[in-house]
Amino acid sequence: MTSMNQQSGKNGPIEQYDVMVIGAGVSGMYALHHLRQMGLSVRVYDGASDIGGTWWYNRYPGARVDGPGSPFYSYTFSEELIQEWDWEETQSEQSAVLAYLEHVADRFDLRRDIQFDTWVQDARYDEATQRWTVETDTGVHASAPFLICAVGALSTANMPDIPGIHDFAGECYHTGRWPHEPVSFEGKRVAVIGTGSSGIQSIPEIAREAEHVTVLQRTPQYAFPAGNRPITPEERADARTNWDSFVAKMRSNFGGFPYDNQPRSALEDTPEQREALYEELWQRGSFKFFLDLYSDIATSEEANQSLADFVRAKIRKIVHDPVTAKKLLPDYFVITKRPILEDGYFETFNRDNVSLVDLREDPIERFTRTSVVTRSGEHPIDMLVLATGFDAISGSMLRLNPKGRGGMSLAEKWKDRFHNYLGLTVAGFPNLFMIHGPGSPGVFYNMPLGAERQMDWIGRCLRHLDEQELGAIEPLADSEEAWGAEVSALANATLFPRTDSWWTGANVPGKPRYFSVYLGGSIYYQRIYDMADNGYQGFVFEKENQPGNAEAS
Ligand code: NA7
């Protein structure tokens, strides 16, 4: 393989690398480290001013890990990291996660190969040279045989298109693009659109300070107690002493955390026993709620109903005003939208300075310079918070919109479905790899660990190409079709596709509507390694610099 040097192109010098990585978040940082360890020259580009990706952007008040949490939401590639990093809480706040990532960047001297404040505007494959070239908004022109897209599953902000929204003259912030300067809510009338994780985490924080908060809710949500607590010295010592066995468990367990799933069906228990379990889990809180639940909550309507009823009863009990409580009651299958962890969200509606607008009966008509107007009337506001989420999973790949063989754009290829093979590669886009893209377990798995495991596979694939003197790899169209069928078959065995969510693309108008995450959990990693062991089954290779000389595998 080549190393970094420069060649001249018609627009000036072209930097040459072995691999270019787009994105310096959790995935891109590990990609850089791993590729460097392989002895490759790597350049990483990121539009942000520092590392962290989603954790760099999402600094809204109340932002926390809302998965199974610390210390297992972390890298596993270096044991030193667990030995030297003190996680303080189970649901770490954004600043703590970012501090950890900064520590990783320092420890492995990552920043020297990352170009920040640099947006990749164009990425295209050249069939003759078997190389990708990128052009950036800072005038960089660079080329490498391989392009790794670590662009993030939750990084392209979803901006609502509401009449007059650009006329609003007050402060306006999207939770996924929160300013770095402190935002004061004091004495302000704030409207919040959106009640997903970001809205539900930030609304109680905003309400503590603001003069008034108007929550504009399109879909009521099931939310569960976060149960955040300090990590005890014993837990920390246990994680450090037994790190290897924790990692082994993380790698074998379904979701990538060292916790076993409850194997029992809800229907094996009496209603009283179910109620007792739900109450116990509710009191304890945390994402472990979902792991310790019955095995069929996401597959059996009856099991699902029992938990949905339990949470609805809790909401009715917590919220004093019955009219508000009724508006807050969700009516879809519980956990078929991303489960949310909350800390005082429902209680917030008992405050005098918080009101709820149910957009399903009272939709937003428009914004003016000073207000939001819903069907029932005008709400004067000083600040608008858009907690409206992301064009998730596929959105950032489409924003990059790489051009593959014959100049075909990814947007063209993905207009009806996010065709891919193994959630890693795309036919017509040789030598391009995705981390946490559609077709992978991505957001249904411990994301730092998932990124490591996908990247290790990619590294092994690059080594294979080098050893075999192969110039390009891409999947066959048939392989993509079979993989797509496998993704859908797994999803269709559950209740997930039956609810509108960002998992199904329903939150973004015009987006292909299907459940694009691979629901096999850790089985996925076995599947992709089996494919590699079987001679990269389903892929086609080209010899170095001999385009068109394809060898099916
Ligand atoms: P989510 O979970 O996608 O939530 C976005 C919220 O914004 C949700 O309540 C949406 O309602 C609402 N929304 C989106 N567009 C509109 C418009 N146009 N009008 C009214 N309401 C709207 O994003 P989050 O940032 O909260 O969380 C994303 C993930 O980050 C989270 O799941 C964790 O994994 C971490 P809807 O439900 O679509 O009706």
Our answer on whether the CB atom of 442 is closer than 6 Å to any ligand 1 atom is no
Compute the Cα dihedral for 205, 206, 210, 213 and give only its sign.
Answer: negative
Q: Which pLDDT belongs to residue 67?
A: 84
Ligand 1 centre from 165 Cα, in Å?
A: 17
Q: Pick the atom of ligand 1 nearest to 197's CA.
A: 26
pLDDT score at 24: 98
Residue nearest to atom 12 of ligand 1 (CA): 194
70 lines ligand 1 (CB under 6 A): no
- pLDDT computed for residue 545 by the predictor: 83
Bridge partner residues of 372 (DSSP): 367, 379
> How many whole angstroms separate alpha carbon 280 and alpha carbon 262?
14
Kindly give the distance from the C-alpha atom of residue 213 to the centroid of ligand 1, in angstroms, as a whole number: 18
CA atoms within 13 A on the CB side of 32: 26
Q: Is 349 a pocket residue for ligand 1 (Cβ < 6 Å)?
A: no
pLDDT at 11: 66
| Count of CB atoms situated within 10 Å of the CB of 529 | 14
Residue 384 φ/ψ, nearest 5 degrees: -120, 125
Per-residue pLDDT tens digits of the chain, which is 553 residues long: 444 567 766 667 899 999 999 999 999 999 999 999 999 999 999 999 999 999 999 999 999 998 888 899 999 999 999 999 999 999 999 999 999 999 999 999 999 999 999 999 999 999 999 999 999 999 999 999 999 999 999 999 999 999 999 999 999 999 999 999 999 999 999 999 999 999 999 999 999 999 999 999 999 999 999 999 999 999 999 999 999 999 999 999 999 999 988 889 999 999 999 999 999 999 999 998 998 999 999 999 999 999 999 999 999 999 999 999 999 999 999 999 999 999 999 999 999 999 999 999 999 999 999 999 999 999 999 999 999 999 999 999 999 999 999 999 999 999 999 999 999 999 999 999 999 999 999 999 999 999 999 999 999 999 999 999 999 999 999 999 999 999 999 999 999 999 999 999 999 999 999 999 999 999 999 999 999 999 999 999 999 985 555 555 5
> What was the pLDDT predicted at 260?
86
Q: What is d(CA 125, CA 405) in angstroms, rounded to the nearest whole number? A: 7
Ligand 1 in reach of 372 Cβ (< 6 A): no
Q: What pLDDT is recorded for position 3?
A: 46
**Ranges of H-type helices in 257-300:** 271-284, 288-291
User: From ligand 1's centre to the CA of 195, what distance in Å?
Assistant: 6
Closest by CA to 400, choosing from 174, 191, 224, 151, is: 151
Q: What Cα–Cα distance (Å) separates residue 20 from each residue in 24, 146, 379, 474?
A: 11, 6, 48, 17
Q: Report residue 3 CA to chain centroid gap.
A: 32
**Residue 2: per-residue pLDDT:** 40
Give the closest residue to 355 by CA, choosing from 387, 319, 304, 382. 319
Q: Provide the sign of the torsion angle of the four alpha carbons 450, 451, 453, 458, taken in this order.
A: positive
Interatomic CA distance for residues 468 and 447, integer angstroms: 31
Distance between CA atoms of residues 414 and 409, nearest Å: 9
pLDDT at 69: 83
Chain centroid to Cα 537, Å, comes to 28
- Rounded to whole angstroms, the Cα distance separating 246 from 297 reads 26
Beta-bridged to residue 141, according to DSSP, are 135
Report if pTM > 0.85. yes
- Asked if 194 contacts 386 with a C-beta cutoff of 8 angstroms, the reply is yes
Residues 6+ apart with CB under 8 A from 497: 491, 504, 514, 515
> Is residue 387 within 8 Å of residue 176, measured between CB atoms?
no
| Cβ of 218 less than 6 Å from ligand 1 | yes
71 alpha carbon – ligand 1 mean position (Å) = 27
Name the E strands within 169-289.
Answer: 171-174, 189-193, 212-217, 223-225
Instruction: Tell me whether strands 146-149 and 432-434 are parallel, antiparallel or unpaired.
Output: parallel
